[in-house]
């Protein structure tokens, strides 16, 4: 660079200049460099979301439509057969995506609202309130969550609403810990102190000063937490206290069709049937984990070895 | 001091280094030559971003991750470093070339004793046996004037002070008796009083062992003490290179001259009858433990600058926290225009908060990295003055103008600014509140000198135009001379003296003020010798 002026000017100082891109362009650049596992994960997730959103259009039969022949084998009418009271399994599998994922997503969102907000407050406050919340969370976490959820659900009775609230509260303890841990590092930064000195309220400091700076770990945590919530709901449904029939749900479907597995020696396809909803659960969990792995690697700032 | 004509130790020709960013390789060093004889000290100076650290590291054949040497040759004592395998290079780094980093605290392993880390390289490379290396390390500690040289090595890094750690690191570098040591800003993080001792120790060692050294710094006065030759870098290019005395006496290039001119900034001290801020007999402590401030009284005259000087730990920043209300005083009071301020920030009104603003040392951490310049400056406008939309935008542009930046900066994020620009944005954020008092906590100490001067002039101009009073916390006497009207000297949480600048700076001084003033490096190659001569006479 041949600079004409050798004297000093503030605007001419060299900062680390980056090429300015829109968010869309940046996402595209990142996507092109993503490893194959992340691409597979993304494709699977998009596939599930499409299934969940357009279930009524895709499914050949209704969610709870009872057809005349129960336990029908795989055929061109019923690709995956029917269940014990004659509902089309493929349709239930497709509707199941909508119910299981939808409820798990709502639950995770609620868990993040509760745990995230309290975690931020605890990180900023750091006094008796922090102690109270943290110890309370310790107590909640000391109880095995599945058993605790089972207990609470049998007290209040299983419904989608109580399922969401109970699991959200139980899982918000984990979110609280993560949020508090990362927010504490940001809360001591001088720009937060500057906001306090300016007289800003708690809401502004939480939303505008701290939250944007702790988003990457929280987004990753959201993915992982979603997996756990999803598995918990499936487990509870399998045990019969989760999502209730006639709502189609993968956990319930595994339970309802489980006895088919003993017919595997007569018809292999009958044996595979109960494994399909279980497989759907496993596939989504793995896909989300692939994407979270990639995202964590990107945001942790580790340079790729060349 | 200069011993040119010795045999050549290091020869770098047409070095080009690139860094990877934004999907492409960008040049950092654009073809620089560097040569060094045995026993010679070369000073590398320039602003941050000039590439001086990168060039220094390249002389070891090393680049940071994400950088590469794309051209040129590096010949060290007849060995072409660029041709060596990485394992052979590492052997040379352990034994023949050593590197002393800026932050010693971050460079030591906290889990090992100092002496174990000091001798590790020499023992691993089989240069000496473990026991001889340890004896030698103790001798090195002694010659670096570390306290208790026999036993200090048994301590862990957190058990010694920053200045001592920096000297231990120098001992570590010297332990294998390398031919070349690269000092990368070894004293930048230290107090002036500690800096003098470290500088003296480094120079003695380099002379006694006939070690060649590359001394990287942005402090001209320091490089004047240490180097035989000085090379000035800018934008990855060499500006000029000359013998130290020659360079100091008559710099050739305009850029070098402008670097030299910085130290001449000075303002006439004026007094003012009315005080805007009075700190009266304040005591303060953190969480009930030992007191940090003892009976501190400081007055800030209206429209003037009061500089608070002292070493780290003297209570300067704590005094600022008491004024802002972040740390309520346990005793005493703070008056603002004659009215007492509530001690705790929670009880202060928005108006009281607006009138006292603060600027921090590290502009990096004082700005939210996820907010644009427009948001950062706009927020106080909206918060205190209720400006919105176009009106707010126009005012932000006006403020950007007044800090010598322009509208282009409105959409930038802090990560896209240089250090000086960041500090300017912080200043304009404080100005946006239209305050009466600004507390400046070491605002220039993290910046290069030429940038420092720009910031100081900006602050002085704002004072002339808006009548703002500054409480200016610093440990740099040159800055104090440049901008203050009155000076407060603090030591161990007490005020040693407060007075008009010229009175404080001219003798007779209290003992501590004297020591502080003596430790400030001057732009004279003989300054360090003189200081040590005086010391030895005094002893």
By DSSP bridging, strand B305-309 and strand B331-336 are unpaired
Q: Which two tokens stand for residue B150?
A: 């026999």
- CATH number for A187: 1.10.3720.10
Instruction: Flag if A190 and B362 touch (Cβ within 8 Å).
Output: yes
The residue out of B230, B262, B294 marking a domain boundary is B262
Q: What are the beta bridge partners of residue B13?
A: B73
Instruction: Establish if B535 belongs to a structural domain.
Output: no
Token pair, residue B215, equals 């001394």
B294, B233: one domain: no
CA gyration radius for chain A?
25
In a domain, B527, yes or no: no
Per-residue pLDDT of chain B (539 residues; tens, 9 = 90+): 344 445 888 999 998 988 877 677 888 888 889 989 988 899 998 877 778 888 888 888 888 877 888 888 899 988 888 888 888 888 888 788 988 887 777 788 888 999 999 998 888 888 888 899 999 999 888 887 788 888 888 988 888 877 788 888 888 988 888 999 999 888 776 777 778 888 888 888 888 888 899 999 877 788 888 888 999 888 888 888 888 888 888 888 888 877 776 666 777 778 777 889 999 999 988 776 678 888 999 999 999 999 998 877 788 888 999 999 988 888 899 999 989 999 888 899 999 999 999 999 888 889 998 899 999 999 999 999 999 989 999 999 999 998 888 888 898 888 888 888 899 999 999 999 999 999 998 888 777 777 888 889 899 999 999 999 999 998 777 788 888 899 999 888 889 888 888 888 877 778 888 887 777 777 777 777 787 777 766 54
Question: CA dist A95 to A57, A69, A171, A232, B158, Å?
Answer: 10, 20, 25, 19, 61
Question: In this structure, is residue A221 part of a structural domain?
Answer: yes
Indicate the SS3 state at residue B340.
strand
Among the partner residues B367, B433, B454, nearest to A191 by beta-carbon distance: B367
B14 near A CB under 8 A: no
Q: Indicate if B233 and B297 belong to the same structural domain.
A: no
What's the pLDDT score for residue A305? 41
Calculate ∠ Cα A58-A60-A62, nearest 5°.
100
Residue B531: inside a domain, yes or no?
A: no
Domain boundary among B211, B241, B262: B262
CB contacts of A212 in chain B (<8 Å) are 368, 370-371
| B13 and B151, same domain (yes or no) | yes
From chain B, the residues in CB contact with A15 under 8 A are 416-418, 421
Query: Does residue B21 belong to the interface with chain A, where contact is any CB pair within 8 Å?
Result: yes
Residue B269 falls within a domain, yes or no? no
In a domain, A270, yes or no: yes
Chain centroid to CA A63: 24
- Residues B219, B350, single domain; the answer is no
Tell me the mean pLDDT in the region A251-259.
Answer: 85
3-state secondary structure of B292: strand
The sign of the torsion formed by the CA atoms of A142, A143, A146, A152 equals negative
The pLDDT confidence band at residue A8, using thresholds 50, 70 and 90, is low
Which range is least confidently modeled, A31-35, A132-136, A195-199, B112-116?
A: A31-35
Q: What is the mean pLDDT of residues A288-303?
A: 79
Provide the domain limits for residue B173: 8-262
pLDDT score for A15: 57
Domain's final residue, options B241, B262, B283: B262
Asked if B64 has any chain A CB less than 8 Å from its own CB, the reply is: no
The answer as to whether B524 is a domain residue is no
Domain extent for A287: 78-298
Evaluate whether residue A49 is within a structural domain.
Answer: no
B216 plus B301 within the same structural domain: no
Residue A222 C-alpha, separation from nearest chain B C-alpha, in angstroms: 21
Q: Would you list the DSSP string of A94-144?
A: HHHIIIIIHHHHHHHHHHHHHHHHHHHHHHHH-SHHHHHHHHHHHHHHHS-
pLDDT score, position A11? 66
The tokens of B114 are what? 């100092």
pLDDT at B3: 42
Return residues 432-491 of B near A (CB < 8 Å): 433, 450-451, 453-454
Closest residue on chain B to A15 (Cα) = B418
Residue B28 and residue B112 in one domain: yes
Which tokens sit at B415? 């990560």
* Residue A66 forms part of a structural domain: no
Contact A16 B403 (CB under 8 A): no
Shortest Cα–Cα distance, B363 to chain A (Å)? 9
Nearest residue to B324 via CA among B341, B337, B311, B307: B341
Chain A nearest-CA residue for B368: A191
Q: Is residue A113 in a domain? A: yes
Cβ contact B235–A3 (<8 Å)? yes
A245 within a domain of the structure (yes/no): yes
What residues contact B529, with CB distance under 8 A and at least 6 apart? none
Whether B93 has its CB under 8 Å from any CB of chain A: the answer is no
- Residue to mutate among B232, B327, B368, with most A CBs inside 10 A, is B368
Specify if A56 maps to a domain: no
Chain length of chain B: 539
For residue A18, pLDDT over 70 is answered with no
Residues A37/A44, Cβ–Cβ less than 8 Å: no
Q: What value of ipTM does the predicted structure carry?
A: 0.77
Q: Which among B516, B500, B463, B458 is positioned nearest to B307, based on CA atoms?
A: B500
Say how far residue B94 (Cα) sits from the centre of its chain: 28
Q: Buried (b) or exposed (e) across A100-117, using 16+ Cβ within 10 A?
A: bbebbbbbbbbbbebbbe
Residue A64: inside a domain: no
**Tally of domains in chain B:** 2
Question: Considering only CA atoms, which of A226, A208, A206 is closest in space to residue A295?
Answer: A226
Residues B282 and B255 in one domain: no
CB A170 within 8 A of CB A136: no
Residue-level pLDDT at A14: 57
A20 falls in which pLDDT band (50, 70, 90)? low
> Using an 8 Å Cβ cutoff, are A214 and A181 in contact?
no
What total number of domains does chain A contain?
Answer: 1
- Judgement on whether residues B72 and B169 belong to the same structural domain of the protein: yes
User: Under an 8 Å CB criterion, which residues of A touch B?
Assistant: 1, 3, 6-11, 13-19, 29, 189-191, 193-194, 196-200, 208-209, 212-213, 303
Residue B448, SS3?
Answer: coil
In a domain, B194, yes or no: yes
CATH number at residue B450: 3.40.50.300
Residue at token pair 């003596």: B518
Instruction: Evaluate if residue A302 carries a pLDDT over 80.
Output: no
Strand partners, B36: B10
Contact A199 B353 (CB under 8 A): yes
A194/B360 touch (CB, cutoff 8 Å), yes or no = yes
Q: Are residues B254 and B204 in the same domain?
A: yes
Q: Same domain for B502 and B358?
A: yes
Q: CA dist B164 to A22, B154, B168, Å? A: 49, 14, 6
Identify whether the C-beta of residue B440 lies closer than 8 Å to the C-beta of residue B472: yes
Cα distance between residue B273 and residue B303, in whole Å = 10
Q: Give the whole-angstrom CA distance, residue A30 versus residue B12.
A: 38
In a domain, B475, yes or no: yes
Q: Which residues of B touch A9 (CB under 8 A)?
A: 404
Identify whether B130 is part of a domain: yes
What's the whole-model pTM score?
0.77
Cβ distance A190 to B360 less than 8 Å, yes or no, reads yes
Residues of B in contact with A16 (CB under 8 A): 21, 415-416
Around B324, how many Cα atoms within 13 Å sit in the side-chain half-sphere?
Answer: 25
Pair (B211, B345) in one structural domain: no
Q: Do both B24 and B108 map to the same domain?
A: yes
Do residue B416 and residue A8 have CB atoms under 8 angstroms apart? no
Q: Do A198 and B383 touch (CB under 8 A)?
A: yes
Q: What residues of chain B, 284 to 343, have a C-beta less than 8 Å from chain A?
A: 324, 326
């Amino acid at each position: 660079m041949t600079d004409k002026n050798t004297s000093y000017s503030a605007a001419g100082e060299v900062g680390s200049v980056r090429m300015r891109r829109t968010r869309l362009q940046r996402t595209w650049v990142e996507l092109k460099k993503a490893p194959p596992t992340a691409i597979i994960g993304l494709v699977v997730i998009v596939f599930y979301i499409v299934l969940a959103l357009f279930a009524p259009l895709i499914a050949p039969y209704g969610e709870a439509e009872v057809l005349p022949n129960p336990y029908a084998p795989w055929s061109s009418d019923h690709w995956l057969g029917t269940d014990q009271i004659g509902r089309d399994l493929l349709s239930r599998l497709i509707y199941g995506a909508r119910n299981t994922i939808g409820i798990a997503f709502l639950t995770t969102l609620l868990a993040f609202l509760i745990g995230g907000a309290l975690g931020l407050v605890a990180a900023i406050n750091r006094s008796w309130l922090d102690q109270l919340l943290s110890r309370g969370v310790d107590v909640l976490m000391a109880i095995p969550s599945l058993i605790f959820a089972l207990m609470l659900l049998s007290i209040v009775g299983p419904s989608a609403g109580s399922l969401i609230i109970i699991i959200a509260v139980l899982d918000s303890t984990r979110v609280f810990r993560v949020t508090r841990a990362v927010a504490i590092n940001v809360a001591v930064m001088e720009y937060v102190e500057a906001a306090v000195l300016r007289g800003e309220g708690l809401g502004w400091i939480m939303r505008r000063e701290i939250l944007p700076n702790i988003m990457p770990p929280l987004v990753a945590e959201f993915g992982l937490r979603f997996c756990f919530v999803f598995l918990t709901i499936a487990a509870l449904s399998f045990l019969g206290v989760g999502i209730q029939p006639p709502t189609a749900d993968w956990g319930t479907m595994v339970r309802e069709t489980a006895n088919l597995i003993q017919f595997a020696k007569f018809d292999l396809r009958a044996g595979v049937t109960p494994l399909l909803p279980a497989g759907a659960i496993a596939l989504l969990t793995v896909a989300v984990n692939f994407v979270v792995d990639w995202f964590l690697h990107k945001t942790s700032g580790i340079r790729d070895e060349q | 001091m200069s011993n040119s004509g010795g045999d050549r130790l290091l020869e770098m020709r047409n070095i080009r280094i690139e860094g990877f960013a934004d999907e492409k390789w960008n040049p950092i060093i654009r073809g620089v030559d560097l040569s060094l004889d045995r026993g010679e000290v070369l000073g590398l100076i320039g602003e941050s971003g000039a590439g001086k650290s990168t060039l220094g590291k390249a002389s070891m054949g090393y680049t940071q991750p994400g950088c590469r040497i794309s051209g040129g040759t590096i010949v060290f004592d007849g060995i072409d470093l660029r041709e060596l395998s990485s394992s052979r290079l590492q052997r040379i780094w352990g034994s023949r070339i050593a590197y002393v980093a800026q932050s010693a605290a971050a460079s030591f392993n906290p889990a090992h004793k100092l002496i174990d880390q000091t001798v590790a390289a020499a023992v691993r490379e089989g240069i000496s046996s473990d026991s001889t290396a340890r004896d030698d390390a103790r001798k090195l500690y002694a010659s670096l004037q570390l306290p208790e040289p026999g036993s200090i090595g048994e301590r862990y890094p957190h058990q010694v002070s920053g200045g001592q750690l920096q000297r231990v690191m120098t001992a570590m570098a010297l332990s294998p008796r390398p031919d070349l040591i690269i000092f990368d800003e070894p004293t930048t993080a230290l107090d002036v009083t500690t800096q003098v001792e470290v500088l003296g120790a480094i120079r003695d060692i380099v002379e006694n062992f006939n070690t060649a050294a590359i001394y990287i710094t942005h402090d001209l006065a320091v490089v004047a003490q240490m180097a035989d030759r000085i090379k000035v870098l800018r934008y990855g290019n060499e500006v000029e290179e000359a013998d130290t005395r020659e360079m100091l006496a008559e710099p050739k290039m305009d850029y070098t001259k402008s670097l030299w001119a910085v130290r001449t900034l000075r303002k006439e001290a004026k007094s003012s009858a009315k005080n805007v801020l009075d700190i009266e007999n304040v005591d303060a402590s953190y969480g009930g433990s030992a007191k940090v401030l003892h009976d501190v009284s400081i007055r800030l005259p209206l429209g003037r600058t009061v500089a608070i000087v002292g070493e780290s730990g003297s209570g300067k920043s704590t005094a600022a926290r008491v004024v802002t209300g972040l740390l309520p005083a346990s005793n005493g009071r703070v008056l603002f225009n004659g009215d007492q301020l509530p001690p705790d920030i929670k009880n202060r009104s928005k108006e009281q908060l607006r009138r006292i603003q603060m600027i921090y040392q590290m502009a990096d951490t004082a700005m939210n990295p996820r907010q644009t310049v427009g948001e950062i400056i706009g927020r106080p406008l909206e918060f205190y003055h209720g400006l919105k939309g176009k009106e707010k935008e126009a005012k932000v542009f006006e403020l950007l103008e007044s800090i010598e930046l322009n509208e282009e900066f409105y959409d930038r994020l802090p990560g896209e600014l240089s250090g000086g620009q960041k500090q300017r944005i912080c200043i304009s954020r404080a100005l946006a509140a239209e305050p009466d008092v600004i507390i400046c906590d070491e605002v220039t100490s993290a910046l290069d000198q030429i940038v420092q001067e720009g910031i100081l002039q900006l602050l002085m101009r704002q004072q002339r135009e808006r009548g703002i009073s500054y409480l200016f916390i610093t440990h740099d006497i040159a800055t104090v001379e440049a901008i203050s009207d009155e000076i407060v000297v603090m030591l161990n949480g007490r005020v040693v003296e407060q007075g008009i600048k010229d009175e404080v700076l001219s003798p007779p001084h209290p003992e501590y003020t004297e020591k502080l003033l003596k430790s400030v490096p001057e732009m004279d190659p003989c300054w360090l010798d003189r200081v040590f001569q005086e010391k030895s006479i005094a002893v």
